[in-house]
Amino acid sequence: MSRIDWLEEARRRQDALLRDLSSLLAIPSVKDEASAGPGALLGVQSARALAWALELAGKHGLATSALEGIVGYADYDGPESRAEDGRGKENRDDYIAVLSHVDVVPASGEWTSPPFEASIRGGRLYARGALDDKGPALAAFYGLLIVKELGLPLRHRVRMIFGTDEETGMGCMDAYNRRERPPLAGFTPDADFPIVHAEKGQINTSMELRLSGDGGGAELRLCGFRSGTAANMVPDAAEAIVHGSPDRLAAVVSEFWSYCSGRGLKGSTSTDLQLTECATILRMEGKSAHGMAPETGVNAGLRLLEFLGSQPLGGDDERFVRGAVELLAPDAAGEALGIACRDEATGALTVNVGLLRYAPGEGEASFRLNVRFPSCADGESLAAALEERVRPYGFSLTPPIFKRPHEVPAEHPMIRALQRIYTEQTGRTATLLSTGGGTYACKLPGCVAFGPLFPGEEDTAHQPDESIAIDSLLRATALYAEAIYELANIDYGKKE
């Protein structure tokens, strides 16, 4: 067989890839429990995105199946491979997995173009999901189409898995594992190149304050606070409603502007003087970022609570604010929470405070925490230490949800194959990486994350104006095509 120019094959399919991708990006597949129902357990738009992906696969001759309304797959059982030992197909139940997700995080913040309309500017494709993960999902799918349309022989089946709950808990992969056997190996196009072979563990929980109904007789009352739209995003906006006398509120507004000016922050205020007790709304702007790297963003909720910590609050208001100011605002490494740790393989622990809520009239006072911890730590022990630390402040933890650390050994035959493919196509060293992000790879044994971000590229996932370079999308497609072909022809029963 003559040598295949994988990148040229990807470029030949550029128009079709961008056309299909634009259609998928137009579906606002954010988890929406309000529209959930039979066949749409995560909301109608998530179900619509899954149906779209499976319909596309079916049009190209792949056998498709949907499981429990939240995950589906498409199988390709290509021409039989004849290896040098004369063997053809392996066990027909075995397969290579390519895992991607069609759900997205909310499109918060200010966008240059509508977030659910694909827009091309300066060689980049802009839309929510362009990078995380609809663009890479279709790049991998078109990689499989290249293999299929070239009629390349395969020893193992290839299965494209499409999930709809990656951003909010990965329950879709739990559903998959209840019904299907694990793959021989596989990858997800949902992180960085070269190869992410290790992932941090995670703890997802909420710090909840039990309210007493006591306002403390303070001159200022915090009547509401809201920040964040997803646990795994750094909030880029926050709003607080405070009540007090006109003179007290005038002082609050003046001090708020001084606070913002002194820290280079953006904010706004509005005051309602028609009420018996005047109300002022304070708004803070921050910078969104992925929850795996909260230090790269500006948490608007924590910055606004830091300001409120300087105000004369009392009772429940003061306890809520003090918990944020002393336990959460000082750092994203968990030092103030007493859980900081790190190791060489996966780096330092991080804490993202993604959802901040205070509604005393409704009995709500909570902080949603997404803790990502290195391989050296134990999730249960960290959660116990966290519970001990927050208890004196009047907070308790909701039952934590754990994700274990994940690692595929460097000597795995898939790892060596991906390293060779990446080096040959890019001319770069295929260094093994680790991440604080959680991908579908952690849900299946022998799976890693492979792209789509190349070294040095900006990560715009979970941010306004999320985008991917079209050239990078095509280079990733070429890598995925060769990876699918090579991984589907490895004899995993042998030591290579």
Per-residue pLDDT tens for 254-275? Answer: 999 999 999 999 999 998 755 4
Q: Judge whether 103 counts as a catalytic residue.
A: yes
- Active-site hit among 9, 90, 103, 167: 103
Q: Note the CATH architecture for domain 6-199+405-487.
A: 3-Layer(aba) Sandwich (3.40)
Alpha-carbon distance of 204 to 425, in angstroms, equals 39
Backbone angles phi, psi at 241, to 5 degrees: -110, 120
Confidence of residue 88 (pLDDT cuts 50, 70, 90): low
Tokens coding 335: 């030092």
Write down the residue that tokens 């901040």 correspond to.
356
Confidence of residue 82 (pLDDT cuts 50, 70, 90): low
Return the pLDDT at 85: 43
DSSP letter at 40 equals B
HSE, CB side, 13 Å, CA atoms: give it for residue 162. 32
Tokens coding 64: 């498709």
Residue 496, pLDDT > 60, answer no
CATH number of 203-403: 3.30.70.360
Residue 407, pLDDT > 60, answer yes
Residue 297, classed as helix, strand or coil, is coil
Alpha-carbon distance of 325 to 87, in angstroms, equals 65
Cα dist. 100→161, 164, 225, 430 in Å?
A: 6, 9, 35, 22
Which long-range CB contacts under 8 A does 332-339 form with residues at least 24 apart? 332/294, 332/295, 333/295, 334/371, 337/386, 337/389, 337/390, 338/385, 338/386, 338/388, 338/389, 339/371, 339/373, 339/382, 339/385, 339/386, 339/389
**What average pLDDT does range 476-496 have in this prediction?**
88
Cα dist. 284→122, 245, 269, 288, 369 in Å?
A: 31, 22, 9, 12, 20
Tokens coding 128: 């929510």
**How many C-beta neighbours within 10 Å does residue 458 have?**
11
Domain assignments of the chain as residue spans, ordered by start: 6-199+405-487, 203-403
Cα dist. 67→95, 173, 190, 343 in Å?
A: 18, 10, 22, 38
Q: Which amino acid is at 284?
A: M
Average confidence score pLDDT of the chain = 93
pLDDT in tens, 174-230: 999 999 999 999 999 999 999 999 999 999 999 999 998 877 778 899 999 999 998
Residue 83, pLDDT > 90, answer no
Residue with more model confidence, 247 or 494: 247
Q: Say whether 203-403 and 6-199+405-487 share the same fold.
A: no
Facing residues of 75 across strands?
63, 159
The burial of 146, by beta-carbon neighbours within 10 Å (0-12 exposed, 13-18 middle, 19 or more buried), is given as buried
Sequence-ordered list of residues with C-beta below 8 angstroms from that of 447, at least 6 positions apart, any chain: 97, 99, 183, 185, 186, 187, 188, 408, 440, 441
- Active-site hit among 90, 166, 316, 317: 166
Return the pLDDT at 213: 84
Confidence of residue 494 (pLDDT cuts 50, 70, 90): very low
Q: Judge whether 80 counts as a catalytic residue.
A: no
pTM: 0.75
pLDDT in tens, 134-166: 999 999 999 999 999 999 999 999 999 999 999
DSSP letter at 184 equals S
